[in-house]
Structure 1
Amino acid sequence: MSKYKVLFLDIDGTIIKSDDSIDKTTITAIQQAQKAGIEVFLATGRPLHEIRELADLLKVNSLIGYNGAFAIYQGKDLFREPMKKESVKQFIDIAKKNQHELVFYTKDQNIFTDLEADCVKEFIVKFHLHKNDTYLPTSDYEVLGMTLINVESEEIALYKMEDEIHLSQVNLEGMRHCYDVIRDKVNKGIAVQYILEHLGLSKESAIAFGDGLNDKEMLMSVGEGFAMGNGHPDLFQYVKHKTTTVNDSGIFNGLKILGIVE
């Protein structure tokens, strides 16, 4: 039985390769980790209603979605932390004023400011989003996460209206004009800490893999944090390990270092 008890895996750029496929070694690594008694969580910025097919493929029943705002353990809800409605309204107003697009995620839908915008269509295709609708100001949404689209790096400062919210660049080729909205008190790291406490596990018994800056808090909240070789350059300073890229068996090679796979 492994001394490690839980494994947290980002999806895009960590499990899913640049050509949208999953390497066979990644599936093997997850299977061997589960066989060793390790609980595997998918931990993503994506909405959970869009990753069910992937979770079923990998036979994973524990999930963190919306960059830490919603967690499920073995099929049962653990917690849900929606954004403040006034914050959501502020982001929508700033985006509209500056000709940016955004999507916010509810428990069941992806709500876009303009479904016909080219950058939005590209975003939907890249992330295989299906449950999409157009924002209606008269609707009362419970927003769990948000991504800004078509934003230049020099425009990030437009959205710094709260100290407890920051933007994290999406670390995928062709999508770097997109930024996840991250809450300092609601992120993947806070979710990991909550789960470890809930399960009565130590930080040292936990492993995590990620590639983006939205993974930073998660990788710092476990004993064995791995940045993928294709990770954002600013991520490496926060992790214990650097593994190979997602296209070169990064998860498998990282778990091999720990003696979990062979």
Structure 2
Amino acid sequence: MAYKIVFFDIDGTLVNEEKEIPADTLEAVSRLKENGVEPVIATGRAPYFIKPLLNKLGIDSYVCLNGAYVVYKGKTLHKQPLAKETIQALIDLAGRHKHSLVFQGEHTYYADSENHPYITESVNTLKVEHPGFDPGFWKSNEIYQMFLHCESHEEALYEELLSRLRLIRWHPLAMDVLPPGSSKAKGIEAMLDTLGISREESVAFGDGLNDKEMLESAGLGIAMGNSHEELIPYADYVTDHVDEGGIYNGLVKAGLI
């Protein structure tokens, strides 16, 4: 199969725990572009979190916010915001349990509480600017993803909303809140359909729980050597650790560099 496009997760895939891009990954992506294959970012992060990385890698297309916001070479291809009624229902339920929320829009993000320790601890791991404080931000802006801050044993408190939203844990204290049916795979599908590229002609690299659908639907799904153990069954191949040539060796395995 002649692969035409490669989708890369960011955290734990393109960047390591220090949020640095390994030198061999930079070389691998550069060689991929030289060989005429399109590199695309596919991440749970928002567009405003990834601009420095896009510039460093020379990539201008991305599937962000776990598939809810998709851009190809500056053109927005797909948007899937959360319904206002769903956001209100989550706010009400989280308020009863005293759990904090963060609202992620197209250009910025805000929290419903100030200096909450769970927000501080989880966002610190992303090494990005902390959200501002505006509990009403969601009312006048489209919200594509939220953070719900609670511990794993408290997830069952939100079961009544699972027909209206999707929850994916990314930190011991935080979960992504997505529109129902939203995933990186759905966002990728929107891009592939626009470009006229089949799934069989795509490759995807990932390491986390939000990469399951993406790896499963790609023509070649590659899990990093440092992947969450629950991701492995969804991959066609497991490459090396992000700091041990994982991207470079994975692209070699795919015959792309």
Describe the superposition over 1:195-250 as per-residue Cα deviations: whole angstroms up to 9, x where unpaired: 11111111121000111111111111210001112111111111111111212221
Cα gap change, 1:199 to 1:191, in 2 (>3 Å): same
The CA distance in 2 between the partners of 1:18 and 1:61, in whole Å, is 24
1:10-66 CA-partner distances (Å, limit 9, x unpaired): 111111101221101111111111111111111111110121111011100001111
- Which residue number in structure 2 is paired with residue 220 of structure 1? 216
- CA distance in 2: counterparts of 1:252 and 1:60, whole angstroms: 17
Shift of 1:188: 0.5
In structure 2, the gaps of 5 or more residues are: none
Cα contact 1:192–1:221 (8 A) shared by 2: no
Could you tell me whether the CA contact under 8 Å between 1:169 and 1:176 is conserved in 2? yes
The question of whether the paired residues in 2 share the 8 Å contact of 1:164 and 1:185 is answered with: no
Distance 1:89 1:47 in 2: 21
Name the counterpart of 2:90.
Answer: 91
* SS of equivalent to 1:208: strand
Letter in 2 for 1:142: E
Letter in 1 for 2:167: L
Please name the residue that 2:75 is paired with: 76
Q: State yes or no: 1:35 paired with 2:31.
A: no
- Output the amino acid matched with 2:142: E
Q: Which amino acid aligns with 1:200?
A: G
Change (3 A) 1:90 1:135: farther
- d(CA) in 1 for partners of 2:242 and 2:180? 27
Residue equivalent to 1:115: 114
1:201 alignment counterpart: 197
How far off its partner does 1:94 sit?
2.1
Match 1:210 to one of 206, 209, 230? 206
Q: Counterpart in 2 of 1:163?
A: 163
Deviations 1:115-170 (A, max 9, x none): 31122122333223337321333842310111222x22221122221325332121
Corresponding pairs, count: 255
Q: What is the TM-score of this pair, normalised by structure 1?
A: 0.91
TM-score normalised per structure 2:
0.93
> Cα–Cα, structure 1 residues 193 and 210, in superposed 2: closer, same or farther, change >3 Å?
same
2:22 aligns with: 23
Kept in 2, the 8 Å contact 1:108–1:131? The answer is: no
Q: Report 1:98-247 matches (<5 A).
A: 98-130=97-129, 132-137=131-136, 139-149=139-149, 151-160=150-159, 161-163=161-163, 165-170=165-170, 175-247=171-243
Question: What residue is the counterpart of 2:49 in the other structure?
Answer: 50
Q: What residue in structure 2 maps to residue 13 of structure 1?
A: 12
Using the alignment, how far apart are the partners of 1:48 and 1:214 within structure 2?
17
Separation (CA, whole Å) in 2 of partners of 1:154 and 1:125? 22
* Percent sequence identity over aligned pairs: 34
Which secondary structure does the structure 2 equivalent of 1:209 belong to?
A: strand
> In terms of mean alpha carbon deviation, does 91-100 or 123-132 score higher?
123-132
Helix, strand or coil: the match of 1:234? coil
